[in-house]
Amino acid sequence: MAIRSVNPASGQLLKEYEPLTEAAIERKLELARQAFHSWKQTPFSLRREAMQKAAEILERDKQQLATVATTEMGKTLASAVAEVEKCALGCRYYAENAERHLAAEETKTNASHSYRMYQPLGPILAVMPWNFPYWQVFRFAAPALMAGNVGLLKHASNVPGCALAIERVFLEAGFPEGVFQTLLLEAERTGKLLEDDRVAAATLTGSEPAGRSIAKIAGSQLKKTVLELGGSDPFVVMPSAMDGEIARTAAGARCINNGQSCIAAKRFLVADSIYQEFERQFVEAMKALRVGDPMDPKTDIGPLATEKIVSELDEQVKRAKTAGATVLTGGKRIPHSGNYYEPTVLTGVPRGSDVFYEELFGPVAMLFRVRDAQDAIELANDSPFGLGASVWTRDEREQELFINGIETGQVFVNATVASDPRMPFGGVKRSGYGRELADIGIREFVNTKTIWIR
């Protein structure tokens, strides 16, 4: 079956791609194996030069690359340009810091000389999602390639143009053939790839079912995995942070990337004393967001990526209403061509209902009242997910309570959750395991080797 690139704003078929044959996959796997043996011996200085060149190409071609992302998955053009720029930032970070992060580390023992060193594992399979079609890949590839590994990308089937563009960037930057390869193939063939002895490990960003599948196969093969899965991030507002901007900030945090982000704020936990005013301002802010053509610079929210995603979101809103929730604004599809959904605010979603514990992947927010910081922490933690949390308070005591009490991979105080090459990124509970970015991220796919000399 052909891999189809479809414009979610219009439903227009952009292009069809033939999946790789078994023979073609075999050639690529063998090329990856051979490329690894030479690439792992390549000095950091040459790896650095190629990665810096990749950053330059990304910045040079950012408009063209952004247009591909917008037409394939519907994010606004402005956000797509910003995403490509962030990829360049990530490339530069690892070009400048990889050698330092992987330097041998002396340890005093009763040996004459003892230290640890870091060596690459081999070809790494990256199973990546469509919502940030460039950044998700580069935040894996920049550290992995700088560490001396090689990459095999199985991208989401609705962004093949982005996947091929990434491979072209690395080739033009001077990475040898086989160091980074895009594999156009159906999702059900991914497991067989991971079972191949030439694949050393895998990383996946995506849904919980996809993560379970990859983890199961990798576990049976005793191969390392890093999983970044879903999220239902709380956005907590306490009285000391209530001002004229917080509701607009909250609406922006919910609707980033058309609401299709694992770390987008999804549950808004607001102190009872300010709840009524926050709700009023938040609903106004959500209503004010402009939905439309993602190529138009005035658009705030474009279409959702696929027909399936918008249908599933609409079904979740209907189930929330059946369970007793109230729709304060929005609540339905926008009736014209494309996968558009109204910015929506739900209140009164019952704890214990299915929707309360699910991830809403689109511009739909859930509002909740809380008594105080401790009540907010308890509600925030009543979730199967633990990716990120954004808490807003000027009270230092409350800040410490949230930092220590919320069960997530990251807590942002008086700021919205974001990924940054300089800081580790990942989650706990059903949001996955392992970390990307920073020094920890580059060490996920290396052999930490102990050296003891007597």
Longest dimension (CA), the chain: 75
Dig out the tokens for 166 from the structure: 């990434």
96 noted as active-site residue: no
262 noted as active-site residue: yes
* Cβ atoms of 158 and 72 closer than 8 Å: yes
Q: What share of the chain is helix, strand, coil (3-state, %, to 5)?
A: 45, 20, 35
Instruction: State the amino acid at position 49 in one-letter form.
Output: E
Instruction: State the amino acid at position 197 in one-letter form.
Output: D
* Cβ atoms of 80 and 130 closer than 8 Å: no
Task: Find the catalytic residue in 87, 162, 255, 262.
Answer: 262
Give first-to-last CA distance, the chain, whole Å.
Answer: 60
d(Cα 447, Cα 227) in Å, to the nearest integer? 18
Distance of CA 443 to the CA centre of its chain: 19
Please tell me the total number of residues recorded for the chain in this structure.
Answer: 454
Dig out the tokens for 60 from the structure: 């040079």
Task: Find the catalytic residue in 83, 167, 228, 444.
Answer: 228
Burial class (CB within 10 angstroms; exposed 0-12, middle 13-18, buried 19+) of 408: buried
> Catalytic residues, which ones?
228, 262
